[in-house]
């Protein structure tokens, strides 16, 4: 039975979502917390659901972020952030990064990388329908 919806019509894009779990701290731990936010501002999209990175960017910067989190944990005994590797539908991801409340990463190459991914997936959906 044909449903009229092609399987590719709802393409999913692999991403990482980061959410800060750290409250304000003092001393050396604050240095690590600020370093985390600097990385996020530079390399991730701030959205309603958290900081979003495409998978390639995530793989590039995750080791450094984990090192920062490890140092934070050593200072405080607490977790600095949680991250999730998942996929979002093309439509959902587009809505998130085009929201008036969204903020693009400072690194223009990283911002453009996710925009290009969205465009490539959009074209794939058009071709497959």
The count of domains in the chain is: 1
Contact 88, 48 (CB under 8 A): no
Residue 112 to residue 106: CA distance in whole angstroms: 11
98, part of any domain = yes
The whole-number pLDDT of residue 10 equals 63
Chain segment 1-53, per-residue pLDDT in tens: 444 444 445 688 899 999 999 888 889 999 999 999 999 999 999 999 999 99
Residue 61's domain is classified under what CATH number? Answer: 3.30.70
Chain segment 60-117, per-residue pLDDT in tens: 999 999 999 999 999 999 999 999 999 998 889 989 999 999 999 999 999 999 888 8
Read out DSSP for 64-91?
Answer: HHHHHHHHHHHHHSS--EEEEEEEEEHH
Residue 24 to residue 64: CA distance in whole angstroms: 21
108, part of any domain = yes
84, part of any domain = yes
The whole-number pLDDT of residue 8 equals 45
Q: What are the CA-CA distances from residue 7 to residues 23, 89, 95, 118, 129 (Å)?
A: 43, 12, 21, 17, 9
Residue-number span of the structural domain to which 48 is assigned: 10-128
């Amino acid at each position: 039975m044909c449903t009229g919806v092609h399987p590719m019509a709802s393409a999913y894009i692999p991403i990482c979502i980061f959410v800060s779990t750290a409250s304000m701290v003092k001393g050396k731990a604050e240095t690590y917390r600020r370093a985390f936010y600097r990385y996020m501002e530079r390399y991730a999209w701030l959205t309603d659901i958290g900081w979003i990175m495409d998978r390639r960017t995530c793989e590039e910067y995750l080791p450094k972020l984990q090192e920062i989190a490890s140092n934070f944990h050593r200072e405080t005994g607490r977790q600095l952030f949680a991250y999730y590797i998942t996929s979002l539908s093309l439509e959902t991801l587009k809505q998130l990064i085009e929201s008036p409340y969204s903020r693009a990463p400072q690194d223009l190459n990283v911002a453009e990388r996710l925009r290009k991914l969205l465009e490539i997936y959009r074209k794939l959906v058009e071709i497959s329908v």
